[in-house]
Each structure stands twice: as structure tokens, then as C-alpha cells.
Amino acid sequence: MFQLSEPCQRISFRREDFRLSFTKPFFTIFVIALLLAEAICLATDHCSFAVTLVILPSLVFVLCSLLMGFLRLRLRFEVGPNGIDCVDMWYRSHCGWDEIHQFQLISLFGLSYLKVAVSHNKAMWVPLFVNRSEMLEDLLLTYTHDDPRLTRVLRIR
């Protein structure tokens, strides 16, 4: 393999669209929702054996799947040469690469986020639980010119 003796600058004009991946947290969310629904059902004394073991788990599974599908379609973000376009729950925000001054890794309920502090006292939470996480990390490092702060934060993960 050919090795360069001097560091080289990677240049990219790619713009990638990322969607969240709920495969890891789905089982946990499903079990918690099912236990909660079972507890409510059993506390009311109006549940039969069939409802408790068949209908309620099926209903909770369908509702969790619909919720995860909606969130996956709604909460997407893009990484490109102009910065990060990310959708929070309520609004879409943009952050240019030159506006970023700090990175922090946040783990919330087992889901990893990259908290990006922007120069105008705002923070953008970029989800790291995407299907193509290696590509996301590579693009982040490319566009920040291998910023050592970002490299250190991503290594912790």
C-alpha cells in the first residue's frame, strides 16, 4: 500500500442523508411498553387470559412499530460540505462547519448523540444511532478536517 510521507487533506463534496436506526432500542421499548400495558390491564381486573397473552402484546407491538416508523421517517438529517442539516422534534436547523466550537458525546437511554455546540449559543444533537454509522463518522471527520476534539469524542464511543 502506498503511504504519503506528509499529511494530506481529504476533500469531499458528498451530501448524505441519514435516518435513525431503532433496531437496538426497539426490543427494550417494546418490553417496557408491554410490561406497562400488562400492569394496567391486570390492575383493572377486566383482562382475560387471551387478552393478556395474545391481544395486548400484538397491539403493543403494532403501536411500537408504528411509532418507530414515524420517528424514523420524521427525524432524518443530512451531512454535507455546507454543514449539518438536522431536524429536532419541532424545527429544522442548520449548522455550518465553521460555526462549530465544541463536541460532546451524550448517551440518553442507551442512544448515543453527538452534541455539537454552535457559536451562537445553540446546540445541535446529532444522533449517532444510524444504519450507516461508519459513513457518518467518516463524513464528520472529513468535513471537520479530522478535528482532534471530534476524533477524541468518537473514539470514546
* pTM higher than the cut 0.75: no
Name the residue with higher pLDDT: 62 or 51: 62
Q: Which CATH architecture has domain 77-156?
A: Roll (2.30)
What pLDDT is stored for residue 1 in this prediction? Answer: 47
Longest dimension (CA), the chain: 74
Residue 4 C-alpha cell reads as: 504519503
What pLDDT is stored for residue 105 in this prediction? Answer: 92
Residue 50 — very low, low, confident or very high, per pLDDT cuts 50/70/90? Answer: confident
Q: Would the pLDDT of 31 be above 80?
A: yes
Question: What mean pLDDT is predicted for residues 72-76?
Answer: 80
The number of C-alpha atoms within 13 Å of 42 and in the hemisphere containing its C-beta is: 9
For the chain, which residues make up each domain, given as ranges?
A: 23-73, 77-156
Q: Would the pLDDT of 83 be above 80?
A: yes
Q: How far apart are CA 55 and CA 61, in angstroms?
A: 10
What pLDDT is stored for residue 87 in this prediction? Answer: 73
Q: Name the average pLDDT for the chain.
A: 82
What pLDDT is stored for residue 125 in this prediction? Answer: 86
Question: What mean pLDDT is predicted for residues 117-146?
Answer: 85
What pLDDT is stored for residue 89 in this prediction? Answer: 55
Query: What's the DSSP call for residue 6?
Result: S
